[in-house]
């Protein structure tokens, strides 16, 4: 019975040595290639997990959240959202889709709004992170929090922390100067209760006052 040699292994030659270095390199390269070729329909969170599964081991990191340095030990695949909620007990940041589609998990990093479900915690070291818990000054609400209450900008409130943080950034970016513009730049934050008219009123109210001030 004839034998078939495996591709790339000439007849009579020993197979290539499979030392750990080569194997782990191929594993990493394969993971990166898979990540690059993954179709856009694959959830970003799955893509991150696929990548980080190739890098193992927990790491000690320090996150600067709401003005405080917080030390925690996380695996590289842990998202910023899970680090905030499950390791630091900052449950004001909500998990909706966990796929970058609803905006419930919005936080500010260096003043920029991001979906924390799409960000790895280990990549946020040294950056200033603001969650809904850090927006008020003592007992004094942030103007955007006060405006949401004034304009009844929430019903169940699940989307509200993300909406408020996104709204704060939207105004500071200068993207809330008209109703249409504010709607467009807030469109990454979904509200299942449909509180959009009241959310818009709150955003425009704060934008108008900040323009005057």
Closer of 124 and 160 to ligand FES (Cβ): 160
Q: How many CB atoms lie within 10 A of CB 75?
A: 15
Nearer to ligand FES, 66 or 196 (CB): 196
Residue 153 Cβ vs ligand FES, minimum distance, rounded to whole Å: 8
Residue 22's Cβ-count burial label (10 Å; 0-12, 13-18, 19+) is: exposed
Nearer to ligand FES, 61 or 107 (CB): 107
- Mark 103-130 as b/e (b = at least 16 C-beta within 10 Å): bbbbbbbeeebbbbbbbbbbebeebebb
Please choose, from the candidates 150, 196, 200, 207, the residue with its C-alpha nearest in 3D space to the C-alpha of residue 179: 200
For residue 49, the minimal CB distance to ligand FES (Å) is 14
Closer of 92 and 96 to ligand FES (Cβ): 96
Contacts of 98 (CB under 8 A, 6+ apart): 43, 45, 81, 105, 117
Of residues 50 and 177, the one with the C-beta less far from ligand FES: 50
Judged by the rule CB under 6 A, the positions of this chain that interact with ligand FES are: 95-98, 100-105, 115, 117, 154-160, 191-193, 195
> How far apart are CB 27 and ligand FES at their closest, in Å?
29
User: Please, are residues 18 and 26 in contact by the beta-carbon 8 Å criterion?
Assistant: no
- Minimum distance between the CB of residue 95 and ligand FES, rounded to whole angstroms? 5
Strand runs labelled E in 91-169: 106-109, 112-115, 128-130
Q: What's the min distance (Å) between Cβ of 163 and ligand FES?
A: 7
């Amino acid at each position: 019975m004839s034998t078939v040699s495996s591709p790339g292994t000439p007849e009579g030659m020993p197979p290539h040595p499979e030392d750990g270095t080569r194997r782990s390199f191929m594993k990493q390269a394969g993971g990166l290639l898979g990540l690059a070729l993954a179709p856009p329909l694959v959830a970003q969170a799955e893509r991150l997990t696929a990548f980080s599964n190739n890098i193992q081991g927990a790491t000690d990191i320090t996150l600067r959240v709401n003005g405080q340095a917080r030390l925690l030990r996380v695996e590289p695949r842990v998202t910023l959202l899970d680090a905030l909620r499950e390791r630091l007990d900052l449950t004001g940041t909500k998990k909706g889709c966990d796929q970058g589609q609803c905006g419930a998990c919005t936080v500010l990093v260096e003043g920029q709004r991001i979906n924390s479900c799409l960000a790895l915690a280990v990549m946020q070291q040294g950056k200033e992170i603001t969650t809904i818990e850090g927006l008020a000054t003592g007992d004094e609400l942030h103007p955007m929090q006060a405006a949401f209450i004034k304009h009844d900008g929430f019903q169940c409130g699940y989307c509200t922390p993300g909406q408020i943080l996104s709204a704060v950034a939207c105004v500071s970016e200068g993207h809330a100067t008209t109703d249409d513009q504010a709607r467009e730049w807030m469109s990454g934050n979904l509200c299942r209760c449909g509180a959009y008219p009241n959310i818009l009123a709150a955003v425009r109210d704060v934008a108008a006052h900040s323009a005057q001030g």
